[in-house]
């Protein structure tokens, strides 16, 4: 009796391609199985080979994942892991960076008093005499105009940047002012021994505006992040578009 079953299984396995060709794609294809496994299934017993494999897999001690410790995170592969998602919790550090940078720009734009472009003050006139005229004299128009534009861009751009309102235009205008400051400091003081040397008074003039420029460039590409007016406006507009 078992011999007949065995030979019937061999017959089905050998001629299963021919049967599937005649049945067409709308029929299920016969799966090629092991005759021994099929014989054991027909006889009502579980395949012995599968039992041994399952036992070997369940008894493997490496299956249990080792709990990661703080030391592992500091010395293991995660030491080199980087964040590629700038949404949600990963964008939270952008909020204090954006707000503090914007407040500092408001302070930068207040030449000679509270508010921008304080004409007639010694500070505003000194900016014209010592920066605009000697280093930006090639610009068309009056030096007073460009000094005022500089103050307006930093003051009102800093307000918008801190609030996260029109962040990309504000970041672009502030980027232009900071790159202009980098040009001025490099023209006036040079590299000051960069990268290994140092100056006697430890005043590295071009480094600060260069770092500001990189911050504004990052926000110009990535936007304001959470807790910003831009995010509220975008959420309202996107919901209207979906409706």
Running DSSP on this structure, what letter comes out for residue 68? P
pLDDT per residue as tens digits for the range 115-163: 898 888 898 999 999 999 999 989 999 999 999 999 999 999 999 999 9
User: What confidence score (pLDDT) does residue 242 get?
Assistant: 56
- For 131, the token pair is 């920066």
Distance from C-alpha of 53 to C-alpha of 78, rounded to nearest angstrom: 34
- For 68, the token pair is 């990661």
- For 218, the token pair is 């990052």
C-alpha distance from residue 39 to each of 31, 49, 71 (Å)? 15, 12, 54
Decide if pLDDT at 30 tops 80: no
pTM to 2 decimal places:
0.66
Running DSSP on this structure, what letter comes out for residue 4? H
- For 153, the token pair is 């861009």
Distance from C-alpha of 95 to C-alpha of 230, rounded to nearest angstrom: 12
Instruction: Provide the CA 35 distance to its chain's centre, in angstroms.
Output: 55
Distance from C-alpha of 232 to C-alpha of 164, rounded to nearest angstrom: 10
User: What confidence score (pLDDT) does residue 39 get?
Assistant: 43
Which residue in 161, 151, 133, 136 sits closest to 217, CA to CA? 161
Distance from C-alpha of 206 to C-alpha of 213, rounded to nearest angstrom: 11
Running DSSP on this structure, what letter comes out for residue 30? P
pLDDT per residue as tens digits for the range 202-221: 788 899 999 999 999 999 99
Helices (H) and strands (E) in the chain, counts: 12, 0
Distance from C-alpha of 44 to C-alpha of 64, rounded to nearest angstrom: 34
Tell me the average pLDDT across 33-40. 47
User: What confidence score (pLDDT) does residue 243 get?
Assistant: 54
Residues 6+ apart with CB under 8 A from 188: 135, 205
């Amino acid at each position: 009796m078992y011999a007949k079953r065995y030979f019937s299984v061999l017959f089905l396995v050998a001629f299963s391609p021919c049967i599937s060709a005649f049945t067409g794609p709308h029929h299920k294809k016969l799966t090629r199985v092991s005759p021994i496994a099929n014989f054991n299934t027909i006889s009502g017993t579980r395949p012995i080979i599968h039992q041994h494999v399952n036992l070997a897999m369940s008894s493997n001690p490496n299956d249990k994942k080792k709990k990661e410790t703080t030391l592992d995170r500091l010395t293991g592969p995660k030491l080199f892991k980087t964040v590629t998602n700038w949404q949600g919790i990963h964008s939270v550090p952008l909020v204090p960076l954006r707000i503090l940078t914007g407040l500092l720009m408001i302070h930068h734009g207040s030449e000679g008093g509270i508010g921008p472009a304080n004409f007639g003050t010694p500070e505003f006139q000194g900016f014209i005499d010592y920066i605009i005229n000697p280093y930006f004299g090639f610009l068309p128009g009056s030096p007073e105009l460009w000094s005022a534009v500089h103050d307006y861009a930093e003051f009102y751009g800093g307000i918008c940047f801190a609030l996260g309102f029109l962040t990309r235009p504000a970041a672009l205008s502030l980027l232009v002012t900071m790159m202009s400051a980098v040009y001025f400091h490099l023209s006036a003081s040079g590299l000051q021994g960069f990268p290994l040397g140092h100056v006697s008074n430890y005043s590295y003039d071009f480094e600060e505006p260069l770092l500001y420029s990189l911050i504004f460039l990052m926000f110009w590409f990535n936007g304001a992040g959470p807790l910003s007016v831009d995010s509220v406006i975008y959420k309202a507009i996107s919901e209207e578009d979906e409706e």
